[in-house]
């Protein structure tokens, strides 16, 4: 139990820290959204949060479903996966799930949805 707690704590710390290896800048993601090479973008927030507004092209897989979802079964494990939640902790849990599923290039949106919204960047609603 203690090992599991330490693993989860480590992932949460990684989700909140920022570096180009772990996070993608909003401007970089916006450029990718406007290109032909849109990465896999996963919004791990609740249904209500996702429906209220999400990053364009994002798939909705709530963090608690990340370990059991088949949403990425047809994707190559080398594809870039971009995760975000509102602030970071839920994305950290989802990253563990996708890492265990074999994905190698997983990054978080810098500042997550809170910063994306504050910057006035494009959003889609359901």
| Domains of the chain, each with CATH number or no CATH | 2-118 (3.40.250.10)
Please report the pLDDT score of residue 3 as a whole number.
60
pLDDT band at 17 (very low <50, low <70, confident <90, very high): very low
Where are the alpha helices (H) located in the chain, listed in sequence order? 2-16, 26-33, 47-52, 89-100, 112-118
pLDDT value at 40 more than 70: yes
Please report the pLDDT score of residue 79 as a whole number.
93
Please report the pLDDT score of residue 15 as a whole number.
47
**Residues 109, 85, 14, CA angle at the centre, nearest 5°?**
60
**Other C-beta atoms within 10 Å of 12: how many?**
18
**pLDDT averaged over every residue in the chain:** 88
pLDDT band at 4 (very low <50, low <70, confident <90, very high): low
Contact indicator for 92, 15 with CB cutoff of 8 Å: yes
């Amino acid at each position: 139990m203690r090992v599991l707690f330490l693993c989860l704590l480590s992932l949460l710390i990684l989700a909140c820290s920022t570096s180009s290896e772990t996070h993608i800048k909003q401007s970089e993601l916006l450029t990718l959204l406007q290109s032909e090479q849109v990465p896999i973008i996963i919004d791990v927030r609740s249904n209500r949060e996702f429906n209220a507004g999400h990053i364009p092209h994002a798939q909705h897989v709530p963090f608690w479903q990340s370990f059991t979802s088949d949403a990425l079964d047809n994707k190559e494990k080398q594809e870039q996966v971009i995760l975000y939640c509102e602030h970071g902790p839920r994305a950290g849990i989802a990253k563990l799930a996708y890492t265990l599923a074999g994905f190698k290039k997983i990054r978080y949106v810098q500042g997550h949805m809170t910063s994306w919204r504050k910057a006035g960047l494009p959003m889609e609603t359901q």
